[in-house]
Amino acid sequence: MTISQALLNATSGLAAASRRASITSNNIANATTEGYSRREVSLTERVTDGMGAGVGIGGISRASNPAVTYERRLADVDFAFNSATAGAMSRVTDLLGGPEDPSALFQKYANFETSLRTLAETPDSGTLQQQGVTSAKDLATTFNRISDAYQKIRSDADGEIAGRVAEVNEALQQIEKLNNSISKANTTGGDASALMDQRQQLIDLVNENIPVRELQRDNGRIDLMTPEGVFLLSGTARTVEFNQAPFVTAESAYDDGAGALSGLSVDGANITPFSSSGQATKSGAIAGLFNVRDNVVPEQSAALDSLAFDLIGRFQDPSVDPSLNPGDAGLFTDDGAAADVSTITGLAGRIAVNANVDPAQGGEARRLRDGVGAVLPAAAGTDAFVRAMIAAMSDSRPSHAALQSPGSLSASEGAAHLTSLAGATRASAVGRANASEVLAQGLKEAETLETGVDTDRELQNLLQIEQAYAANARVLQTLDQMIQRLMDI
């Protein structure tokens, strides 16, 4: 081996050690950076004319484990779906209130029944009559408040879907640009690791909202496709389409495209969750929000409507209030009219106290004693109607199917059952969310072990790099001494 060859070998060793030191120091610096994947320098032997010519840098490899990443993403979309449901049901149960909550729906039932029992003891008391009307109005207003809040939850979900769709579209555009940059870097021999980290984080964002699979293409490019076979990125980014509703009412629905609420589509392909489409996406945050908007909260709203229907029906029966004619509205009304099962949807938002008994609407509170339709005051001390209303509240009756009751219930039992139904649904949703969060976190940690930075290992690498650098430097020093001796001759 000539001196010049030895010089080239040592120089290449110094360059390789320098590059390795740079990559290792970058790993250490980014040990706690979210989304950073460990880098390693690939070294290759250089051969010229059949002889060793030092060491070459084959490239920079980025740590990855596609199998673990795939499993982690599956867990992420399950958690995103379940957390949306759990969050909505937590809001629902907060609205209904707990046993000790004075604003709870069940407590409003109890207050109203108590006011009737108090009035029955002193039916001629104008003050107690007014208190009874106030309690009835408070109960109706609580129904209205909860119903409106349910629709607010649905409207919030609809708005969040729109926001997440915008995020997905922006991320897809950025992934397309990164694809081009990564392809260019790979073609020219550059290091695309940092670009790939950025792309992986964007893919995670898309996947959290709409589950996707990576399809590897030439020069490091990737395409993205839903598990149901719809491309979100195929060379170029596709646009996910969704139209946010200006408002959401109890009657608002998607109804497989026939209703007022928007679905989800990509280039004409219907991917709306829970639709009849074979390409409907089934998990992820957006599917979870569709579940809240179109299934979970509407079910709770329907149960609330059925409870309102039960309450109205208990007082519009002429056998309870003889002052009424068949078809007349009773103490509680559907916005002034008698309740009809064919228009039960949204009833909780329309339930109101009959204007005949409400002085604020031109009525008379004494009709709470005499009968809603009574023209003339009843005889002093009359309590028949008040006690009939108390009996109607205590009477066990079959409930509407939406209340999901196993049997007949009294009025207050219906309110308690509604609260219990919502509580059970919330507990189930929270349990699923917690379980999926634990799984997702565990897989995230497993992925980090595979692709993250172990600082102890990197420090050991630095010691090896230092030794290699010192050895190559020593070779150069020896060659320098040899050349100096030749020059002295």
- Provide the whole-model pTM: 0.89
Tokens of 75: 């867990």
pLDDT on residue 15:
87
In this prediction, residue 70 carries a pLDDT of 92
- Which pLDDT does position 394 carry in this prediction? 95
- Between CA 489 and CA 487 the distance in angstroms is 6
Location of structure tokens 């010049």: 4
Instruction: Identify the pLDDT of residue 1.
Output: 58
Residue 200 CB partners (closer than 8 Å, separation 6+): 35, 37, 69
How far apart CA 117 and CA 204 sit, in angstroms, is: 60
For residue 133, the model assigns a pLDDT of 97
Q: Is the dihedral of CA 461, 31, 38, 46 positive or negative?
A: negative
- The ranges of the chain with pLDDT < 70 are 1, 50
d(CA 179, CA 156): 34
User: Structural domain boundaries of the chain?
Assistant: 3-63+454-488, 69-439
